[in-house]
Each structure stands twice: as structure tokens, then as C-alpha cells.
Amino acid sequence: MPLHNVASANRSADYWILDTGATNRVTGNRHLFETFHPMAKGEHRVKTANNSFVDAEGSGTITFYVDRPNAKPAKIVLQHVLYVPACGTNNLLSIIQLMRKGVNFDFKLDGATASLGSVLVYEAPLINSLFVLKATAASVSKASVAVDDPPSTTPSTTPSSVHRDLRGLFQYSARG
């Protein structure tokens, strides 16, 4: 099934596929970037699922929010997201990057959850056999887990007031 069918009637730019095979965060949606740094042709090649290679045309930062049950929305800041026009309107999150930074995943037949310690970061329902995270347009003041806040020196035990510095979860190393 082509990935462009994931969101069906919904705007696919609002969805992020949790990808166990991805080594980087990737999007084909240029308009999502808050900051953007162009790349020269061939500077960063991305290997696709069918073993072909496509060029990333840039990278930058993307911010969005995800709704959480019984909690305020979580603000997600993705740094060094690769812009790959060949992805069409798809967005991919690298599960392995997140796991290496301490995010725990629980995959079930109806969806997946991602947690950092005891804090639920997001839920991703299973759509067309893919775990898909839906981004929302919430305001910063409503976010209770903000990825761009500095780490708290006095952690709270109240989940609705917990703030974590998740920025490092969404970084990748340039090839060396």
C-alpha cells in the first residue's frame, strides 16, 4: 500500500508514521519547517525501504502538538528533520532514535504509546497497519510536556506539571 493512503481523507501533513526502520526523521512537507537549512545535491542521501537512494534537500526544525488522554497536549520539537521531496506528503519518526534516548514504546494491536519515565508523551493508533501519530494545533500555553523547556531542577511528581527536555530525543548525527 502506498504511504499516501495512510491519512486517506485527512491531511497527511498532520500525521507522523512511527517507523521502526527509519534512522532519521523525514518529511516531504516543506511548509512544516520553522527553520530550514538547504543541502547541496548529494550532501545527504536517504536509503528507502526498496533500497533505492533519494536526496535530502535540507533539514530543520518542526514543532507540533499531540493530544494526550486526560492530560494537556504535548509539544513536540523535532530537530534536524530531513526534507526529502521524494517522500511526497509523508512524515516519518525514527523509533530507534527515540528508544536510544530513553523513550519507551508499548505496541499493541490497536495502537502504540510512547512514554518517558512515567509520563505519557503520546499515543499512536494503528491505521492501515501503521502506527500513526496525529499532530494538532494547540497553543504553547496549553502544553504540559514541552520539548523545548530546560530540564527542571526540582522534578514534580504531578504528571500534569511535569516538564522534560525532550529536545535531545529528536536529534541525529550527521554522517561522519
The answer to whether residue 51 is domain-embedded is yes
> Across the chain, what does the average pLDDT equal?
73
Judge whether 97 lies within some domain.
Answer: yes
Domains contained in the chain, number: 1
Each residue's pLDDT tens digit, 91-129: 999 998 888 878 899 999 999 999 888 888 888 999 888
The DSSP secondary structure of 88-134, one letter per residue, reads TT-EEEEHHHHHHTT-EEEEETTEEEEEETTEEEEEEEEETTEEEEE
Q: How confident is the model at residue 81 (pLDDT cuts 50, 70, 90)?
A: very high
**What's the CA gap between 132 and 18, in Å, rounded?**
6
Q: Is residue 176 part of a domain?
A: no
Domain contains 160: yes
Amino acid 156: pLDDT: 27
Residue 161: inside a domain, yes or no? yes
- Asked, for residue 69, whether it belongs to a domain, the answer is yes
**Could you tell me the pTM of the whole model?**
0.71
53 domain-assigned: yes
Once rounded to an integer, what is the mean pLDDT over residues 138-157? 34
Q: Which range of residues forms the domain containing residue 97?
A: 3-169
- 64 found inside a domain: yes
Reported as a single tens digit per residue, the pLDDT across 162-173 is 222 333 333 322
